[in-house]
Amino acid sequence: MQSISIVQRAIVYLEDHLYKPFEIEKMAEYIGENTYIINQTFMMLTGYDIERYLNNRRMTEAAYLLRQGNYRLIDIAMKFGYNDAHSFSNAFSDHFNVSPIQVRQQFPSQKLLHRLYLKIDVTENKPFSFDIIQKERKNLIGQLYEYKGIDLIDPFLIADTLHSFYHDAKTKKLLNHRSEDYVYIATQIYEQQLKIFIGVASERTYDYETFIIPNGEYMCIEHRGHIDYCINEIWQSKEQQINLNLYTNLNDVHIYQFKHDINFEHGQNKVVAWFPMQI
């Protein structure tokens, strides 16, 4: 239950920091997990990324304090980390479409977010199916991208990196060296870093970065959709199936495979995700 534990501890930490300065790197140290894993897992199970959850919770608590009428506007602003009443008023109005001075007469019932609690639930919605497949070792050549710090809270970091890869002038030449019609994305977690390798299968070993997909058993999930969302949708389906998480590890290498002539405009791109099976 690695994912559930991560989200539970994240909620506890966030609720404890509603009125305190918040740094996601310090939360990652508290949880003992990579920032990217925390943010992605949190979003897949709650529907909110870390920043959005914290902002919504703070605005909700601020709305209730304003309705009480016992606090000055500047005190509430400072309580939630704003430097002045004006910047807080703008943020509050943007969030609720109601100004702070209108709250007592027009309390915002929309966009309120109270503390979340996790529970195991059942659904009639069919999850993505999967197959357990034995894969042979595969040698890749391509480009390596490394991220850390604030970049790790981008929920579309893999898709954004893929866009950068295809807009790189060197990619066309790289694709000419492929030995099959697929492009592969390999993601690896290193403490508070995320490495994303994008490349093609090839025996060529010079001019490019290299990566080896090890042989072994992989849980393979296939999905079609818009490439900007497809990878996250696969991850979300996996995270919401408890039985799948018993056999995979969030910190293992994740592989995503798709045709090299990907279309960023339509929603029919086929992506196959490979998750190494725990022995």
Would you call 111 helix, strand, or coil by DSSP? coil
Q: How many CA atoms lie within 13 A of 199 on its CB side?
A: 25
Domains in the chain, please, with CATH? 2-102 (1.10.10.60), 130-276 (3.20.80.10)
Which residues on adjacent β-strands are paired with residue 138?
A: 213
> pTM here?
0.83
Distance from C-alpha of 34 to C-alpha of 187, rounded to nearest angstrom? 13
| pLDDT tens, the chain, 279 aa long | 578 899 999 999 999 999 999 999 999 999 999 999 999 999 999 999 999 999 999 999 999 999 998 999 999 999 999 999 999 999 999 999 999 999 999 999 889 999 999 887 777 777 788 899 999 999 999 999 999 988 999 999 999 999 999 999 899 999 999 999 999 999 998 888 999 999 999 988 788 999 999 999 999 999 999 998 999 999 888 877 755 565 677 778 999 999 999 999 888 999 999 999 876
Burial class (CB in 10 A: 0-12, 13-18, 19+), 152: buried
Distance from C-alpha of 103 to C-alpha of 137, rounded to nearest angstrom? 61
